[in-house]
Chain A
Amino acid sequence: MTRSRPGSPTLLAPDRRTFLKAGGAALASTLAMPYIARAQDNVLYVNTWGGPWEEAAKAHIFDPFTAETGIEIRTVSPVSFAKLAQQVQTGTYEFDVTTLGAGELIRAEQAGIIEELADAPYEGALFHNGVGSHAFATVIAHRTDKFPDGGPQNWAEFWDVERFPGPRSLQRYPARVLPLALLADGVAVEDLYPLDIDRAFASLDKIKEHVLVWWTAGAQSTQILRDGEIDLIGIWHGRYFEAEEAGAPVAMTWNQGEIERAYWVVAKGTPNAENAKKFIDFAVSAKPLAGFVTQADYGPLNPAANEFISAEDAERMPTSPKNYPHTFEQEIDNFGADIEEVAQRFEEWLAS
């Protein structure tokens, strides 16, 4: 110990060996970790919604894809637009592929944070550099133990706090909630777009006090409905079925369900872009997509997938002939306002 390097701090000398040993080992493994993860280039990171979404995707898309190509799929959740933007800016990628709704897709394209896609895997698949995968709906659901005589059947009734008292929940996502507020205020579906933003906010004012939770993640919406933290909710239909299957006393209606399309996109500049495109082609091909939408109750956007879907399974899909007429589709191209600005205004409204 006394023969330590001349000039090195004497006070540290006794502990030097321990420090060096422990510190060296810890730092070496610390430094190495990210690069070990990087070195496996046969891995594709997919951003998922977690829960039943991921289970269905794993069974019908991820695992078959790995079996076919040898590319391992790892998942990161939940889906986050901000993360997508951030990772492109910082150059450190958490995921290579994600799904976006139409509103975010347009934002992402404008911001230049997704790869340009040239080849459509099926006809009509491409929309603003996203590949159409499936449709989902925001529907009205309620607790049957709180409303044994039936719950609200449209958004106007959802807004009716006299007839249906109790805590409510909606998604903290203005692009999806504003159309519902207008329907509740008596606007007809045909006249919805472009949206009258001011009127929508005025309508939201009426229900604000009664919205206990503004949910931000799909799994959260299931949990609060299933556990009865709220009595009424605007929820994605797939998440609703999850609560129903868990045995919770709940019911829903397809009436005035708000349909949106989900698109696969590739994060701009990711080193795995080639594999990512390969993955997307696979994910929207007929059979994997059919399996995925059947298990997760989505509606397939690739018509070829319909061949593999039974009539019975189709009934739980928003796009089935039985359900579709009751619903309406979001028209993001004709939204009526800058979505980013509306989002900021919504946040201000929420906190006031």
Chain B
Amino acid sequence: MGATISRLGERPNLWPWLLLAPLTAYLAIFFLVPLADVAVMSFTEPRLSLANYQKIVTGTLYQRVFLNTFLTAGLVTLVCLCVGYPLAYLMNNSKPRTAMLILLLVTMSFWTSFLVRTYAWMVLLGNNGPIVALLSALGLTNPPQLLFTRFSSTLAMVHILAPYMIMNIYSVMRKIDPVLIRSAESLGARGFSLFRHVYLPLTAPGIANGCVLVFVLCLGFYVTPVLLGSPREQMIAGLIGHQIEEFLAFGMGSAMAMVLLAITLAILAVYHRRFGLDKLWG
């Protein structure tokens, strides 16, 4: 056995390939082939043509849904940032015990199934839920409709994706040397200018990471918009699912899936060139 290792060691090219072969073969068969299947279907279903893509480019339905998906993803990313940054800051600048508790909470949220969290928002925002009750207790006789609107699905997606943002920013913040901040302060940087010229640039990599991750995850979000949103503000994944489940329109669904995939990969490719993809989830 030992002989095997050293013999292989003399031919350095073979050994890693042997170890890699099973996984490579597996992913090729059970990941790339299904993916290629989608690509093929987008051109061949129901017949060989570019018709599906033509429809995406010209059909108002598809344009609108793509646009809505982008707007929603952008909004969710922005809100996640506004929510995540202060929290990461709070964690980094409070007593270890408090920081630990918040970290625990964010971790809990991260690990709790997003179906559970989607359901929880349904309870919270429902007409018999605590928020409506609170609003009417405050004297609002005609509480606004919260559930099944853009508001409810956006809020739930922010909740589900915020931990990604928080973790990314926090891990960068933690690495900031406090000496740096103190010396900036001693040089007269205060308040906003300290934040703008020192803190923000130092945490930028975390912000970039968090934003790309949240945006990309949000683009392909299926479950939460379907359960909490309104069909008038569908997102692309929901429309793909509906086309296939209701109409068995595999060609149309596949073409939309390919466009979604292309957009996602384009964003990740840009990221990969600048930072390296393994950093994104690392």
| Bind each other | yes
Contact residues of A with B, CB < 8 Å? 2, 4, 6-7, 9-11, 13, 80-82, 85-86, 89, 167, 172, 208, 212-214, 227-229, 340, 343-344, 347-348, 350-352
Cβ-defined partner of B239 (8 Å) among A89, A167, A228, A351: A351
**Beta-carbon contact of B248 and A167 below 8 Å:** no
The answer to whether residues A348 and B59 also contact, given A10-B1, A227-B126, A229-B127 and a CB cut-off of 8 A, is: yes
The answer to whether residues A229 and B147 also contact, given A9-B19, A172-B231 and a CB cut-off of 8 A, is: yes
Instruction: Find the B residue at minimum CB distance from A167.
Output: B145
Which chain B positions have C-beta within 8 A of A340? 247
Per-residue CB contact flags for chain B residues 37-58 toward chain A (1 = under 8 Å, else 0) read 0000000000000000000000
Which chain A positions have C-beta within 8 A of B61? 347-348, 351-352
The answer to whether residues A352 and B64 also contact, given A212-B230, A228-B127, A344-B247 and a CB cut-off of 8 A, is: yes
Cβ-defined partner of A347 (8 Å) among B145, B242, B244, B248: B242
Task: Judge whether B137 is part of the interface by a CB distance below 8 angstroms.
Answer: no
Per-residue CB contact flags for chain B residues 1-44 toward chain A (1 = under 8 Å, else 0) read 10011000000000000110000000000000000000000000
Which chain A positions have C-beta within 8 A of B19? 9, 11
Which chain B positions have C-beta within 8 A of A11? 19
Task: Judge whether B141 is part of the interface by a CB distance below 8 angstroms.
Answer: no
Chain B count of residues within 8 A CB distance of the other chain: 28
Task: Judge whether B234 is part of the interface by a CB distance below 8 angstroms.
Answer: yes
Q: How far is the CB of A352 from chain B (nearest CB, A)?
A: 6
The answer to whether residues A229 and B64 also contact, given A9-B18, A85-B248 and a CB cut-off of 8 A, is: no
Contact residues of B with A, CB < 8 Å? 1, 4-5, 18-19, 59-61, 64-65, 126-128, 145, 147-149, 230-232, 234, 239, 242, 244-248
Which chain B positions have C-beta within 8 A of A2? 1
Q: How far is the CB of B153 from chain A (nearest CB, A)?
A: 13
In the assembly, what is the distance between CA of A227 and CA of B234, in Å?
A: 24
Summed over the interface, the residue pairs from A and B with CB atoms below 8 Å come to a total of 64
Which chain B positions have C-beta within 8 A of A229? 126-127, 147-148
**Beta-carbon contact of B64 and A351 below 8 Å:** yes
**Beta-carbon contact of B4 and A7 below 8 Å:** yes
Which chain B positions have C-beta within 8 A of A80? 245
Q: How far is the CB of A175 from chain B (nearest CB, A)?
A: 13
Instruction: Find the A residue at minimum CB distance from B15.
Output: A9
Q: How far is the CB of B144 from chain A (nearest CB, A)?
A: 11
Q: Which of B18, B148, B230 has the most CB of A within 10 A?
A: B148
6 A–B contacts, CB within 8 A, in A order: A11-B19, A85-B248, A212-B149, A351-B61, A352-B64, A352-B232
**Beta-carbon contact of B232 and A351 below 8 Å:** yes
Q: How far is the CB of A144 from chain B (nearest CB, A)?
A: 15
Q: How far is the CB of A199 from chain B (nearest CB, A)?
A: 21
Which chain A positions have C-beta within 8 A of B147? 229
Which chain B positions have C-beta within 8 A of A227? 126-128
Q: How far is the CB of B254 from chain A (nearest CB, A)?
A: 15
Which chain A positions have C-beta within 8 A of B145? 167, 212
Given A80-B245, A351-B61, 14 more A-B residue pairs with CB atoms under 8 Å apart are: A2-B1, A6-B1, A7-B4, A86-B248, A89-B248, A227-B126, A343-B247, A347-B61, A347-B246, A348-B60, A350-B232, A351-B65, A352-B61, A352-B64
**Beta-carbon contact of A214 and B231 below 8 Å:** yes
In the assembly, what is the distance between CA of A172 and CA of B148, in Å?
A: 15
Cβ-defined partner of A82 (8 Å) among B64, B230, B234, B247: B247
Which chain B positions have C-beta within 8 A of A6? 1, 4
Q: Which 4 A-B pairs have the closest CB atoms?
A: A348-B61, A228-B127, A350-B231, A351-B61
Q: How far is the CB of A3 from chain B (nearest CB, A)?
A: 9
Q: How far is the CB of A201 from chain B (nearest CB, A)?
A: 14
**Beta-carbon contact of A228 and B232 below 8 Å:** no
Q: How far is the CB of B126 from chain A (nearest CB, A)?
A: 7
Which chain B positions have C-beta within 8 A of A10? 1, 4-5
**Beta-carbon contact of B242 and A228 below 8 Å:** no
